[in-house]
Amino acid sequence: MTDATRATAHLVVRENDEQVRMLMIVEPRRARMHVAFRPGQIDPIDRGSAGLAMLAALPPEPGERAEVGAARRRGFAVSYGEIAPSVIGVSAVVPGARTQTSVGLSLFEAPDEDEIGRAVLGAAERLSSMLR
């Protein structure tokens, strides 16, 4: 997925009710530049595409962000500059994972969110099938 999109891929798990932890980062080999994160990094669950995707997989909550509802409708979450300035995140939940998990991409430009979203959803499904 990283080489096809020339974007950094990330695997994130839910740490607790308020936080997510970045477990793995895969950098694209053929991109001129890429987004870098530290494995183990903890972020708020309500900021960034990984946490938003996890929240969208749950039943709707009163007062939730509009982005969570949009992610629920689309099947993937998109965020702009919420974890790092100028970085776009696109993430989807990995169905069937024992711990709530998302896979996604971090990139500087997203000319077609739906195309990137489809790539992320495909990766989430492939990971899910490996867990069965």
Question: What is the spatial distance between Cα 52 and Cα 72, in angstroms, rounded to a whole number?
Answer: 9
Question: What is the spatial distance between Cα 20 and Cα 88, in angstroms, rounded to a whole number?
Answer: 17
For residue 33, pLDDT over 70 is answered with no
Which of 26-35, 44-53, 57-66 is predicted least confidently? 26-35
pTM metric for this prediction: 0.91
Give per-residue pLDDT as tens, 66-98: 999 999 999 999 999 999 899 999 999 999 999
Give me the phi and psi of 79, to 5 degrees please: -135, 155
